[in-house]
Structure 1
């Protein structure tokens, strides 16, 4: 199973949504998990994980992960060639390296990272940025290219983003 997570911040709370789907090219989800939590940290440039990781870990308490499952986060796993990690890397550590984590980001991170791949989907001239840990990033790149949908953002990831924004 593949579990994709995203969080949206309202004035007084954060809403985290997880869409579960069976295969990279799935058109529909098999299950949706949601949770509203108190925001425990403000936005800190370069330390986004401090705000979002607690939200994801809280929602993960409702999900029974199994061997072979993967997690997608809206963001980065690795940030540079010096070993700095992003949200996905911190999640991988919190899960004791047992579940592969894939980061799919919409905005480019400035530093160079040999583990970052660009994915162009549909007719878009703007790429998605893919990083991963616990699985080969080049394999994931191909899978992201094959995700359902004709546009830059795959169908289920677009739905995930929309669901987080509904109070």
Structure 2
């Protein structure tokens, strides 16, 4: 882990504490009941991308633990995880073996992890204005795409 990645991870941990989402030893700092272990999302993003940081905050607020890697070029990560070019977005994540490309809502990631379809992962292609992290509130719909199924086909997983 680079020093920059450690600093980002530490800053995000502080943000989680301030948002009431931190846990130590399995117990939430702000509740009496033990918290479930958070699913870890590993994110690769450009150093200068603010909307990616917004998506990271969205995932933390939804209960995920997030590790961020700020890199100069995200394309090698996209290639490593088999994300088709037409599905590319600004950041790439991996959670429990699935690729998550772009501004996929946390609820869809949770559904993916619960259903465990035979696929590589989910993508929100491009940067839709109303997707988590973009948060423009324009009312424009966007789709989440499931890709990498054994038959090679992509399909709409969710519409928002």
TM-score (norm: length of structure 2): 0.31
Bigger fraction of residues in helix: 2
Over alpha carbons, which structure has the higher Rg?
Answer: 2
Q: Relative contact order, CA 8 A, sep 6+: which one is greater?
A: 1
